[in-house]
Chain A
């Protein structure tokens, strides 16, 4: 039982960060109906900016702020500069793949492949409850930031005019255009938001990893894509549930069956979920409400 609690505890924080990154993918999917394959590479670029600023100013929070701003800026640049050439969704995927190559190799040339360790802003020593290490202050911070962000986005989407316009542009672009919504601008806004969210997610992940390097978000992206699909690409809430589920599953499988079995377990989960609900866990409900 101890071991079980411990494993669940470690899985939750990790799962929340993955869910946050998946949320970025969901945002872009809802707005532009494409999957942003360059999300990981873009997040890494902003992470380098953030770490650079943090080292220069000596404050992690300044670096985080810089990273989020850089993320938004990069999202705007990518959408206006590269993605607008995507006349078909598949073309968008290919453009994103090319962009990933460009970004990662440019980073490799500019900063080299070496890992840059990133220290967490608060302690990451777990509290021990009855001999079982459960969570650390950093885990709590991660979950708090992620949940707070998701709540904030939900309020944005449901309570503000901008949010209404964003949802309208995604759901019925032609009608929205007729009603005066600047659909193209809404798409850009969604990209900016999504990239900022992805930047934050990557920054939260980094202190728990070996360090920052051009390939630091490769695994995160693949996992986040899987999580987004399991949760339903249209649903932010689904991304959260799926993220937690996948995070805990991976932790349990690594603990009880060994690290080699974990990718197979994730595949099995995906197959099972999609067999029962082909549009992901939460997709059906969201579509009706939106």
Chain B
């Protein structure tokens, strides 16, 4: 299979992204409207989790406020789209996406500049306070619509596809398209020189500076890249739901994004995908299972909503205890162990440590933010 793909990294990534997008688009034909809506949600969150995993896993900066960056993208999309109501739909959409990227990139730039000198929990505190201040900002700044947020008009299915494709399916297609583009771009950046430099800064800032890499600028760049990705995710959400409100992007959402990234596997885009799917689908799955349980009616009222949350929390704790490197990390470790065992051969000695990919996993989490070992003590 890999021989069919181009050898150079950038075209290779583009082709893979295109194929992946086509496969997903084909998949939408098998889903009913609600599932297509969920798919669009997963795609939107994937933009955000991909950006966050790059920021936290690769450049070592912890952001607890990524939902605020999604909100910035959403507001950018909504305000720009409302500013050009008469433009043709495609133009309006593209312009609004640009608006989303600009606004979220700007907020990310400010955050990155403010946070360039901050480490670990101090940066986390800054981003957390930003998320908490979001409703106040929406109320105080005129034009942001306060608690009710901003609404955009529905972009209907284009006439050519009107009879073939339902609305939710069409929205899923747009979401898949934007997400593939974001993922492809992130992949190229991560595998390139910038990604390498980010890892250098994350692992040892002083050594990186000595090697001629400018840590401050790289950290800001990481913030901007990750913010634009999250902002595009927020724009997609606004496109699908036709509204952006501060209540939809609160602290709980931010923490959920972080949970998605760590549970999926820090630092890996595949992990971001797993995490995004988990975060959107697991609560729904748990809720459906819980609803199906036979429960006496006196208890049912207390359990409504709470039981699903309880099960989700328990699953989270168990998952983190069993697989601290996330789903993708655990899978890679298992695969490496199997490969090592195969290499050792039947009756041969088992190597004492997992194989070559494991150091890459540990590598990702070693210089993790919030560890107080380097600069704070």
Contacts and interface: CB of A to CB of B under 8 A. Distances in A.
Contact of B320 (A95, A222, A266): A95
A48 interface: no
B140 A287 contact: no
B310 A98 contact: no
6 contacts: A89-B371, A94-B263, A99-B317, A222-B129, A260-B139, A271-B126
A267 B133 contact: yes
Contacts of A93: 258, 262, 370
A53 B130 CA distance: 38
Contact of B125 (A92, A112, A270): A270
B262 A106 contact: no
The 5 closest A-B pairs by CB, nearest first: A101-B313, A98-B316, A229-B125, A33-B372, A89-B370
B56 interface: yes
Contact of A95 (B114, B315, B321, B368): B321
A89 B132 CA distance: 23
A88 interface: yes
A105 B306 CA distance: 5
B310 A101 contact: yes
B118 A226 contact: no
Interface residues of B, number: 54
Contacts of B121: 29, 35, 229, 233
B124 interface: yes
A147 interface: no
Interface in A68-95: 82, 85-95
B129 A90 contact: no
A171 B377 contact: yes
For chain A, the bracket of interface size reads: 35 or more
A36 to B, nearest CB: 11
Interface string B96-130: 00000000000000000010011111101110111
Interface of A: 29, 33-35, 37, 82, 85-95, 97-102, 104-106, 108-110, 112, 171, 222, 225-226, 228-229, 233-234, 260-264, 266-267, 270-271, 274-275, 278-280, 283, 287
A97 B130 CA distance: 19
Contacts, number: 160
Nearest to B321: A85
Nearest to A226: B129
B130 to A, nearest CB: 6
B303 interface: yes
Contacts of A110: 302
Interface in B132-160: 132-133, 135-137, 139-140
A109 B369 CA distance: 35
Nearest to A110: B302
SS class of chain B's interface: helix, strand, loop or mixed?
A: helix
Nearest to B369: A90
Nearest to B260: A94
Contacts of A100: 313
B314 interface: yes
A263 B316 contact: no
B117 A109 contact: no
A86 B56 CA distance: 17
Nearest to B118: A278
A144 to B, nearest CB: 29
Interface centre among A89, A100, A222, A280 (most CB of B within 10 A): A89
B125 to A, nearest CB: 3
B136 A264 contact: yes
B93 interface: no
Given A89-B369, A101-B313, A267-B132, 9 more contacts: A29-B372, A33-B370, A89-B371, A90-B369, A95-B320, A98-B320, A260-B136, A278-B117, A279-B376
Given A90-B56, A101-B316, A33 B137 contact: no
Given A97-B255, A264-B137, A105 B370 contact: no
B270 to A, nearest CB: 18
B318 to A, nearest CB: 8
B257 to A, nearest CB: 11
A239 to B, nearest CB: 13
A194 to B, nearest CB: 15
B251 interface: yes
Given A29-B121, A101-B310, A94 B129 contact: no
B317 A102 contact: yes
A93 B368 CA distance: 12
Nearest to A102: B313
B365 interface: yes
A108 B132 CA distance: 23
B62 interface: yes
A267 to B, nearest CB: 5
B262 A94 contact: yes
A60 to B, nearest CB: 28
A93 B254 CA distance: 13
A105 B187 CA distance: 38
A236 B124 CA distance: 19
Contact of A85 (B255, B324, B372): B324
Given A89-B369, A101-B312, A94 B320 contact: yes
A105 B316 CA distance: 14
B309 interface: yes
B47 interface: no
Contact of B262 (A29, A91, A229, A270): A91
Nearest to A112: B302
Contacts of A89: 120, 368-372
A263 B136 contact: yes
B133 A266 contact: yes
A261 B129 contact: no
Interface string B53-71: 0001000001000000000
A101 B266 CA distance: 22
Contacts of B327: none
Contacts of A261: 136, 140
A93 B321 CA distance: 12
A87 B324 contact: yes
